[in-house]
Every structure is written in C-alpha cells, then in structure tokens.
Amino acid sequence: MRTRLEFPSSSLLRSGRTVRTVGTVVALLCGLASLAGAEDQSAEELARRTVERRAVEAVIWGMPAVNYDLMLQEMLTKTAGKVNQVIYWGRPLDWHNQTLTPNPDTLYFMAFFNTKDVGPIVIEVPPADGGSMNANIVNLWQEPLEDAGLLGIDKGNGIKLLMLPPDFSGQVPEGYSALRPGTHGSYGLFRSNLASHADADIAKSVAYGKRLRVYPLSQAADPPPTRFADVGDTVFDTTIRYDERFFEGLDRIVQAEPWFARDRAMIDPLRAIGIEKGKPFATSGDAKQALASGMREARAWLEAKYAAGLPPFFEGTHWTFPAPPELVRAAQADFAEPNHYPVDARGLTYSYGYIGIKRLGTGQFYLINIRDKAGKSYDGSETYRLTVPPNPPVGQYWSVTAYDRQTHALIRNVARASRASNSGGLQTNADGSVDLYFAPKAPAGQEANWIPTDPARQFELMFRLYAPTRALFERAWVLPDVEKIAAQR
C-alpha cells in the first residue's frame, strides 16, 4: 500500500499557519521513515538491541551495588571473615589489596552488616583516647549514613550506632544513634589512623582498631566478643568485572534486597536482561552476546566520562574533585531531592572508588589527577615530579598514592604505592616543601621520596588530606601540577 502525501499550497505557505502545517508534515515524514526502518529490523534484532541498551543502563545504575557485592563476595570466598564481624589489614596496604583507590597510609578495618536474620546490629566506635578513627558507614548502594570518630558525629567521644532493618518499626533504645539504610546489607570502613609507619605505631593502631565492637542488639546485655580476621596476605581483588559476573552480582542484590521506591522503574529493564526477583538469572546464545555487547558499551561510556575529567579543584591545574559535585550534594541529602537523581555520576564514581562520606571535607578530602602539567596521561616508564608546597592544610596528615590507570587499584608487584607526611624519612626542602618522584626506578638519592610505577602500565594519582583545614577550601594553599622530567641515569 502506498501513502500519498500532498504538500500545502503556496498560498498556505504564506499564511500564518505555515510553520505549524509544515512542521506537522515533516513530523509525519520522519515518523513514516522510522516505521520503514523498523520494518527492516527483525524481531530478533529488536530483541537484541533491547538487551544491549538495557544492559548499558543496568551497569551504570547498578555499579555501586555490584561494587559492594564484589567486596562482600571476596571476603566470604577468600578470607576467614564473616558477615557481622570485622576484617582488617594489620599493616599499611600493599598491592595485595586490589580494592578501588584504597589508602596505604592508614590501617583498614572493614565490616559487612546484615540485619535480615539477626535484627538490629550495634556498632560501637571507641572514643579517641590512645588512637583515632575516620569511620564511614554506608548502605549497600554506598549511600553515606554516618561518619564517626574524631572528626565524625561523636567528635571522638565514641558512639553506639544501631543499624536497623528495612522494616523496623520498634522503639530505638536509649543510648543508640539509629541508622536506617533501607536495605538488609550495609558496611562500614573504619580507618585506624597511624602516627607513623614505624612498627610500634602500627601495633598501636591495630590494638586501637580492635576496640571496635559489632554485635546484634538482641545480645547487648552480654555482647559476644567481636571476631577480627587479618586479611593482609590475601590478594583481595574487587576491581570491577566487566563481563557476565557483573550481572550475576547485580542479580544477587535484586534477589536479596527490597526495592527503593525511586528505583522501581528499573524492574522491567532488568527483567529484559534476565534479572527478576524470585527467578534464577541465566543467559545463553544471542542474549549472552547482547549482554556482552552492552557491557562493552557501558565500560567505554564510563571510561570516556572519566577520561574527560572531573571538575578542577584548583583552577589551572589537573587536580580535580574526587567525584562529581552533583553526586556529593545528592548523597548528603540522602538522594531525597524530587528532581535530582544523578545515577550517571554515581555509576562513574563507583567505577573507580568505593565508600560514601556524609561530610566530605571534615574528616578527609581527596584530589584526583590523571594528567601531568602538559595535559598528557601518565606513562609508567617515564619520570615525574610533584612538589608538595610547605604548610599543607591538614590537621592529621597528607599522602599521595599511585594507582593503575586501567583498574584503579594499587599497582601490582611494586614495593610501595605511596608517600605521606606520616611515612617517616621523607626528605624536605629548605622551604619546607617536599619533592616526590613517580618512576620505575628511583632517581639518584631520592629513594625516600620515590613512588614506584610499572613501566608497562599507565597510572593515576590521588592526593589525600586528613583533617583538612580552611586554607584548602579557600585555595590559600594550592597543589601544583605534576611535571614530567628527564630520567636520571
């Protein structure tokens, strides 16, 4: 059947109805062209494209939850750690810790909580007497629930936090600060701060970290001892899996957790890729290939966003905010703004990092750098220098860490990953500044200030400021760009 279209007469074109009438005709032509194109696509092709498109969106939307699940599964399958207990790294992190952009200049204690079977969970953060913590508690979507410790809600006085189940409707006992994650699962990262990297200070920080307590509220009258498992010798790899394992992790979350009202629009898109509550996840044949294609596109999209760069923190430099500011604002508002839900920014952020901070800039602040002064990506076979100006704006310490540019984890098989003001032995210039070097080999005489790189890999940097002061946010102190220099022979 042919459809005949008659264009308006010249007199009509000259009338006041011209724009509306021609616009209608153009819209009709475009619609018919689209229909003609659709007729050329088989049902199988349309189904494949649906899976691809929805896989892309599932990856971006589900990134923080899958990021959480990767860490949980790594603990359960590779360590002696258990849910509602504590794992820790009994020495400063090295490359065996393959989480995303971790901090090698503090001691990590981590606990995964689940209230589904045991009800409310008590988290006792010790007072800052003989030690201090920077603690962040999040739900499994990595939404910040609370910060605790010396610069947290308790101001170093210690606190009993109470993690409540999603359906909790009872009375919160006196003496507890309630957290409502909206999910059964959640976790906390507790950084036991180091005075230095000396053995005695490490032992002191381990002992302080072990004052952390986790137990069910039902046993609060006589709490059982908290179990701690040292996982420092484990290759704890939670880098993002850009393959079918990503969707397997997302399916575990969907099966185990309730939906947030704001996310119910994802129910049908997930069903299109084989993820549906109450049903097993399985793919084969064309669907498996379409998922893989969608995953490749999602990965390329995330990488393009990251490579484009985050907003600069210091104008005129390549040091950027640690995450898109829109995500920080939304997270601090509990994602409750009715016209703002930055899923894209969230997906990007949790492709290179983890944990959420309720009050970013109080206990700690981060700066990311993926390009040198000339705007070039960092080449692990070259030599670079960063000069940290005198009087850095911190109340505790600063550090800079090199990460693998592709995985966003610590560079594998290198002797150390960072240098920090609490490292000990750093060489300081006469004006109080510190020159740091990034290279596959230490420049002559600079071993103490050297951070090794892999000559076969690109790398990226993160500068941390613990207990940052006003001078940072007023930009009275500025961290300069990193410069490529000639290797010393």
pLDDT of res. 28: 41
CA pair distance 127, 208, nearest whole angstrom:
10
Domains of the chain: 80-233 (2.60.40.1610), 309-485 (2.60.120.600)
Helix, strand, coil percentages (3-state) for the chain, rounded to 5, are 30, 20, 50
pLDDT of res. 30: 44
pLDDT of res. 4: 35
pLDDT of res. 29: 38
CA pair distance 166, 149, nearest whole angstrom:
25
User: What is the mean pLDDT of each successive set of 10 residues along the chain, which is 489 residues long?
Assistant: 35 36 39 50 90 97 98 98 98 97 98 98 96 97 97 97 96 97 98 96 98 98 98 97 97 98 97 96 90 97 98 98 96 92 98 96 97 98 98 98 98 96 95 98 96 98 98 98 87
Is 146 in contact with 154 (CB distance < 8 Å)?
Answer: no
- Altogether, the residues listed in the chain come to a count of 489
pLDDT of res. 192: 98
Q: Say which residues have a Cβ less than 8 Å from residue 186's Cβ, sequence separation at least 6.
A: 112, 113, 114, 137, 138, 139, 140, 145, 163, 179
Per the confidence metrics, is the pTM higher than 0.75?
A: yes
Tokens encoding 315: 């104008």
